[in-house]
Structure 1
Amino acid sequence: MSVVKINAITVPPDKQERFEERFRGRAGAVEQTPGFEWFELLRPTEGTDQYLVYTRWSSEEAYEAWQSSQDFDRAHDGGGDTLAPAAAHSAHLWSYQVLESAGPRANQENQV
Protein backbone atom coordinates (compact mmCIF):
# COMPACT_ATOMS: atom_id res chain seq x y z
CA MET A 1 0.00 0.00 0.00
CA SER A 2 1.42 3.38 -1.00
CA VAL A 3 2.08 6.10 1.54
CA VAL A 4 1.91 9.85 1.07
CA LYS A 5 4.06 12.40 2.87
CA ILE A 6 2.93 16.01 2.80
CA ASN A 7 5.30 18.62 4.12
CA ALA A 8 3.32 21.79 4.92
CA ILE A 9 5.76 24.72 4.92
CA THR A 10 4.79 28.25 5.86
CA VAL A 11 6.80 30.66 3.73
CA PRO A 12 6.60 34.41 4.39
CA PRO A 13 5.50 36.40 1.31
CA ASP A 14 8.92 38.04 0.93
CA LYS A 15 10.58 34.56 0.74
CA GLN A 16 8.14 32.83 -1.63
CA GLU A 17 9.90 33.69 -4.88
CA ARG A 18 13.21 32.34 -3.56
CA PHE A 19 11.49 29.24 -2.16
CA GLU A 20 10.01 28.43 -5.57
CA GLU A 21 13.32 29.18 -7.29
CA ARG A 22 15.08 26.66 -5.07
CA PHE A 23 12.56 23.97 -6.01
CA ARG A 24 12.91 24.73 -9.73
CA GLY A 25 16.67 24.27 -9.37
CA ARG A 26 16.51 21.06 -7.35
CA ALA A 27 18.72 18.16 -8.40
CA GLY A 28 15.82 15.73 -8.75
CA ALA A 29 17.58 12.94 -6.87
CA VAL A 30 14.32 11.80 -5.30
CA GLU A 31 13.09 10.62 -8.71
CA GLN A 32 15.89 8.04 -8.79
CA THR A 33 15.11 6.67 -5.32
CA PRO A 34 13.73 3.12 -5.12
CA GLY A 35 10.10 3.19 -4.04
CA PHE A 36 9.50 6.81 -5.09
CA GLU A 37 6.21 7.24 -6.97
CA TRP A 38 5.32 10.96 -7.23
CA PHE A 39 6.29 14.53 -6.30
CA GLU A 40 4.34 17.79 -6.45
CA LEU A 41 5.01 21.27 -5.07
CA LEU A 42 1.71 23.04 -4.42
CA ARG A 43 1.61 26.84 -4.27
CA PRO A 44 -1.09 28.42 -2.10
CA THR A 45 -3.62 30.47 -4.04
CA GLU A 46 -5.67 32.12 -1.32
CA GLY A 47 -6.07 32.32 2.43
CA THR A 48 -2.69 30.88 3.42
CA ASP A 49 1.05 31.21 2.94
CA GLN A 50 1.56 27.47 3.40
CA TYR A 51 3.11 25.51 0.54
CA LEU A 52 2.58 21.75 0.34
CA VAL A 53 5.30 19.37 -0.80
CA TYR A 54 3.55 16.13 -1.77
CA THR A 55 5.48 12.88 -2.23
CA ARG A 56 4.13 9.38 -2.72
CA TRP A 57 6.08 6.22 -1.87
CA SER A 58 5.57 2.51 -2.38
CA SER A 59 6.05 1.94 1.37
CA GLU A 60 6.99 3.60 4.63
CA GLU A 61 10.35 1.80 4.40
CA ALA A 62 11.07 3.38 1.00
CA TYR A 63 10.37 6.84 2.40
CA GLU A 64 12.53 6.19 5.47
CA ALA A 65 15.40 5.00 3.26
CA TRP A 66 15.17 8.28 1.28
CA GLN A 67 14.96 10.33 4.47
CA SER A 68 18.14 8.74 5.86
CA SER A 69 20.10 9.07 2.58
CA GLN A 70 22.87 11.49 1.68
CA ASP A 71 20.77 12.69 -1.26
CA PHE A 72 18.03 13.72 1.19
CA ASP A 73 20.57 15.63 3.30
CA ARG A 74 21.92 17.44 0.22
CA ALA A 75 18.39 18.30 -0.95
CA HIS A 76 17.48 19.78 2.44
CA ASP A 77 20.68 21.58 3.46
CA GLY A 78 19.14 25.00 2.82
CA GLY A 79 21.58 25.98 0.09
CA GLY A 80 23.34 28.39 2.43
CA ASP A 81 20.66 31.04 2.05
CA THR A 82 18.31 32.60 4.57
CA LEU A 83 15.25 30.65 3.43
CA ALA A 84 15.89 27.47 5.40
CA PRO A 85 15.88 29.17 8.82
CA ALA A 86 12.79 31.19 7.88
CA ALA A 87 10.82 28.05 7.07
CA ALA A 88 12.40 25.52 9.43
CA HIS A 89 10.15 26.17 12.42
CA SER A 90 6.98 26.34 10.36
CA ALA A 91 7.09 22.96 8.62
CA HIS A 92 4.81 20.05 9.46
CA LEU A 93 5.03 16.55 8.03
CA TRP A 94 1.72 14.76 7.53
CA SER A 95 1.61 11.04 6.73
CA TYR A 96 -1.19 9.12 5.01
CA GLN A 97 -1.84 5.67 3.57
CA VAL A 98 -3.48 5.58 0.16
CA LEU A 99 -6.78 3.72 0.45
CA GLU A 100 -8.17 4.55 -2.97
CA SER A 101 -6.85 6.28 -6.02
CA ALA A 102 -8.19 7.03 -9.49
CA GLY A 103 -7.16 8.68 -12.69
CA PRO A 104 -9.06 9.83 -15.75
CA ARG A 105 -11.31 7.24 -17.32
CA ALA A 106 -10.69 6.31 -20.93
CA ASN A 107 -13.32 7.83 -23.18
CA GLN A 108 -15.28 4.91 -24.68
CA GLU A 109 -16.03 6.86 -27.87
CA ASN A 110 -12.33 7.40 -28.63
CA GLN A 111 -11.38 3.75 -28.30
CA VAL A 112 -11.13 1.58 -31.36
Structure 2
Amino acid sequence: MNAYMTAGTFDFLKKIEAKYPNDLMVTMINENNALLFHETAGETVFNEPRKFEELLSIGEMKKEGFVVLNNVPVTDEGKAVFEHQVKNQIITVKSQQGFLAVRVLRPLTSSQYVIMTVWKDEASYQAWQSSQTFFDVSKLTGMDSQAKIFSSAPYVSKYMITDK
Protein backbone atom coordinates (compact mmCIF):
# COMPACT_ATOMS: atom_id res chain seq x y z
CA MET A 1 0.00 0.00 0.00
CA ASN A 2 1.17 3.53 -0.72
CA ALA A 3 0.80 6.53 1.54
CA TYR A 4 1.17 10.19 0.66
CA MET A 5 1.14 13.39 2.68
CA THR A 6 0.83 16.99 1.66
CA ALA A 7 0.55 20.20 3.63
CA GLY A 8 -1.55 23.29 3.04
CA THR A 9 -4.35 25.30 4.49
CA PHE A 10 -7.09 23.35 6.22
CA ASP A 11 -9.82 24.60 3.87
CA PHE A 12 -7.81 23.78 0.74
CA LEU A 13 -6.98 20.27 1.95
CA LYS A 14 -10.60 19.60 2.96
CA LYS A 15 -11.66 20.51 -0.60
CA ILE A 16 -9.23 17.94 -2.02
CA GLU A 17 -10.51 15.33 0.44
CA ALA A 18 -14.13 16.09 -0.50
CA LYS A 19 -13.34 15.87 -4.22
CA TYR A 20 -12.24 12.22 -3.83
CA PRO A 21 -14.81 10.59 -1.53
CA ASN A 22 -13.90 7.06 -2.64
CA ASP A 23 -10.24 7.46 -1.62
CA LEU A 24 -9.01 7.14 1.94
CA MET A 25 -7.96 10.69 2.73
CA VAL A 26 -7.77 12.18 6.21
CA THR A 27 -7.20 15.87 6.94
CA MET A 28 -5.55 16.79 10.23
CA ILE A 29 -4.59 20.09 11.80
CA ASN A 30 -2.37 21.53 14.52
CA GLU A 31 -1.44 25.04 15.63
CA ASN A 32 1.10 25.40 12.79
CA ASN A 33 -0.43 23.80 9.71
CA ALA A 34 -2.74 21.24 8.18
CA LEU A 35 -1.79 17.90 6.65
CA LEU A 36 -3.66 15.60 4.29
CA PHE A 37 -2.90 11.86 4.44
CA HIS A 38 -3.80 9.69 1.43
CA GLU A 39 -3.66 5.89 1.58
CA THR A 40 -4.05 4.05 -1.73
CA ALA A 41 -2.85 1.11 -3.79
CA GLY A 42 -2.22 3.49 -6.68
CA GLU A 43 -0.95 7.00 -7.22
CA THR A 44 -2.01 10.14 -5.40
CA VAL A 45 -3.74 13.24 -6.72
CA PHE A 46 -1.38 15.51 -4.76
CA ASN A 47 0.91 17.77 -6.79
CA GLU A 48 3.88 17.67 -4.40
CA PRO A 49 3.45 14.79 -1.95
CA ARG A 50 5.77 13.18 0.52
CA LYS A 51 5.77 9.58 -0.75
CA PHE A 52 5.84 6.44 1.38
CA GLU A 53 5.40 2.71 1.25
CA GLU A 54 3.54 1.20 4.21
CA LEU A 55 5.69 -1.28 6.12
CA LEU A 56 3.04 -1.94 8.74
CA SER A 57 -0.63 -1.07 8.94
CA ILE A 58 -2.76 -1.85 11.99
CA GLY A 59 -6.25 -0.50 12.56
CA GLU A 60 -8.54 1.57 10.40
CA MET A 61 -7.92 5.23 9.60
CA LYS A 62 -11.06 7.15 10.46
CA LYS A 63 -12.09 10.78 10.28
CA GLU A 64 -11.50 11.28 14.00
CA GLY A 65 -8.75 11.10 16.56
CA PHE A 66 -5.46 12.47 17.81
CA VAL A 67 -2.49 11.78 15.53
CA VAL A 68 1.17 11.58 16.50
CA LEU A 69 3.78 11.55 13.74
CA ASN A 70 7.22 10.35 14.82
CA ASN A 71 9.53 11.60 12.07
CA VAL A 72 12.69 9.50 12.11
CA PRO A 73 15.60 10.26 9.74
CA VAL A 74 17.44 6.96 9.18
CA THR A 75 20.80 6.43 7.48
CA ASP A 76 20.98 4.08 4.48
CA GLU A 77 23.08 1.70 6.57
CA GLY A 78 20.56 1.76 9.41
CA LYS A 79 17.36 1.11 7.42
CA ALA A 80 17.32 -2.69 7.72
CA VAL A 81 17.96 -2.60 11.47
CA PHE A 82 15.41 0.16 12.04
CA GLU A 83 12.69 -1.61 10.02
CA HIS A 84 13.29 -4.91 11.81
CA GLN A 85 13.08 -3.27 15.23
CA VAL A 86 9.99 -1.25 14.37
CA LYS A 87 8.08 -4.24 13.00
CA ASN A 88 8.87 -6.26 16.13
CA GLN A 89 8.10 -3.53 18.69
CA ILE A 90 5.37 -1.28 17.32
CA ILE A 91 2.71 -4.00 17.25
CA THR A 92 2.65 -3.85 21.06
CA VAL A 93 0.93 -0.47 20.86
CA LYS A 94 -2.29 -2.01 19.54
CA SER A 95 -3.21 -3.30 23.00
CA GLN A 96 -3.17 0.19 24.53
CA GLN A 97 -6.46 1.74 25.60
CA GLY A 98 -7.60 4.43 23.17
CA PHE A 99 -5.40 3.16 20.33
CA LEU A 100 -7.06 3.37 16.90
CA ALA A 101 -4.41 2.84 14.22
CA VAL A 102 -0.72 2.81 13.37
CA ARG A 103 1.10 3.23 10.07
CA VAL A 104 4.83 2.67 9.72
CA LEU A 105 5.85 4.52 6.57
CA ARG A 106 9.06 3.93 4.60
CA PRO A 107 10.06 7.05 2.65
CA LEU A 108 10.39 6.74 -1.12
CA THR A 109 11.97 10.14 -1.77
CA SER A 110 13.86 10.94 1.45
CA SER A 111 15.44 9.28 4.48
CA GLN A 112 12.69 10.23 6.93
CA TYR A 113 10.48 7.39 8.13
CA VAL A 114 7.17 8.25 9.76
CA ILE A 115 5.56 6.24 12.52
CA MET A 116 1.98 7.50 12.68
CA THR A 117 -0.16 6.51 15.64
CA VAL A 118 -3.81 7.48 15.90
CA TRP A 119 -5.54 7.70 19.27
CA LYS A 120 -9.10 8.26 20.45
CA ASP A 121 -7.94 11.49 22.08
CA GLU A 122 -4.85 13.20 23.47
CA ALA A 123 -5.48 11.75 26.94
CA SER A 124 -5.16 8.21 25.52
CA TYR A 125 -1.83 9.13 23.95
CA GLN A 126 -0.59 10.68 27.20
CA ALA A 127 -1.57 7.55 29.13
CA TRP A 128 0.45 5.47 26.67
CA GLN A 129 3.43 7.78 27.17
CA SER A 130 3.47 6.70 30.82
CA SER A 131 3.54 3.00 29.94
CA GLN A 132 6.39 0.51 29.60
CA THR A 133 5.28 -0.09 26.01
CA PHE A 134 6.00 3.55 25.19
CA PHE A 135 9.44 3.26 26.73
CA ASP A 136 10.20 0.17 24.63
CA VAL A 137 8.95 1.77 21.40
CA SER A 138 10.63 5.12 22.07
CA LYS A 139 13.99 3.39 21.95
CA LEU A 140 13.31 2.87 18.25
CA THR A 141 13.09 6.58 17.55
CA GLY A 142 16.52 7.67 18.69
CA MET A 143 16.18 7.97 22.42
CA ASP A 144 18.71 5.23 23.10
CA SER A 145 22.32 4.46 22.28
CA GLN A 146 21.68 3.39 18.67
CA ALA A 147 22.14 6.91 17.32
CA LYS A 148 24.41 5.61 14.54
CA ILE A 149 21.35 4.46 12.55
CA PHE A 150 19.85 7.97 12.61
CA SER A 151 21.03 10.73 10.30
CA SER A 152 19.70 13.50 12.57
CA ALA A 153 17.45 13.91 15.59
CA PRO A 154 13.92 12.51 15.29
CA TYR A 155 11.02 14.83 16.04
CA VAL A 156 7.32 14.53 16.82
CA SER A 157 4.37 16.35 15.25
CA LYS A 158 0.87 16.15 16.76
CA TYR A 159 -2.43 16.73 14.96
CA MET A 160 -6.19 16.46 15.45
CA ILE A 161 -8.39 14.90 12.81
CA THR A 162 -11.44 17.10 12.48
CA ASP A 163 -14.02 18.32 9.98
CA LYS A 164 -14.20 21.76 11.55
Q: TM-score, normalised by structure 2?
A: 0.53
Match of 1:35 among 98, 113, 116: 98
Q: Which has the higher contact order (CA 8 A, sep 6+)?
A: 1
Cα RMSD of the aligned pairs, angstroms, is 2.1
Q: Given the superposition, is the C-alpha separation of residues 53 and 88 from structure 1 closer, same or farther in structure 2, using an over 3 Å criterion?
A: same
Tell me the distance in 1 between the aligned counterparts of 2:127 and 2:100: 14
Tell me the distance in 1 between the aligned counterparts of 2:75 and 2:131: 29
Are the aligned partners of 2:74 and 2:151 in contact in 1 as well (CA < 8 Å)? no
Off by >4 Å, runs of 4+ in structure 1: none
Aligned residue type for 2:100: E
Question: Percent of pairs identical after alignment?
Answer: 26
More strand by share: 2
Aligned residue type for 2:127: A
> How many residue pairs get matched?
96
Question: 1:3-82 maps to which residues of 2 (within 5 A)?
Answer: 3-26=66-89, 28-46=91-109, 48-77=110-139
Are the aligned partners of 1:19 and 1:83 in contact in 2 as well (CA < 8 Å)? no
More helix by share: 1
Larger radius of gyration: 1
Tell me the distance in 1 between the aligned counterparts of 2:161 and 2:85: 29
Tell me the distance in 1 between the aligned counterparts of 2:104 and 2:113: 7
Q: Given the superposition, is the C-alpha separation of residues 88 and 13 from structure 1 closer, same or farther in structure 2, using an over 3 Å criterion?
A: closer
Are the aligned partners of 1:42 and 1:52 in contact in 2 as well (CA < 8 Å)? yes
